[in-house]
Amino acid sequence: MKNLLLLLTFILSASTISFAQENKRDAKIAAQIRQVMDAQTTAWNAGSIDGFMNGYWNSPDLVFVSSDNVTKGWQPTVERYKKNYDTKAKMGVLTFSDLEVEVLSKNAAVVLGSWALQREGDAPHGKFTLIFRKFKDDWKIVHDHTS
């Protein structure tokens, strides 16, 4: 009976340690993803679509969904942004808020959040779901569904 009690104590301790390590890992990943998104808003607000796009996976397999449109590929996504936001006035000031980062694994996460543009004539806003993947040392958006 004493051995069984020791075994159960060991299993409980190991589970607690594992859970704590996973929580620490997830918090670190969430912070890294927020850094990517902070860099995107900084680039956008400086008028740099190219800088903003650094947060996206530079691949023909990138998926960007907005309204009824599905854009596949990094280059077509850049072109879409540059066409729709061809002046600093159209770009406005971007903010992200209400971010919920759900870490799926050490290499994948989903982010739910809100976006808003503050412009002279209007203030468009909406929601987004982003799928991030880790590539070497960088987290990149591989799928963006924005409404």
pLDDT in tens, 5-55: 554 455 545 455 455 667 889 999 999 999 999 999 999 999 999 999 999
pLDDT tens per residue, range 121-131:
999 999 999 99
Indicate the Cα dihedral angle 38, 26, 102, 143, nearest 10°. 60
- Supply the pLDDT for residue 65: 98
- The domain ranges of the chain are 2-146
Domain 2-146 part of CATH 3.10.450.50 = yes
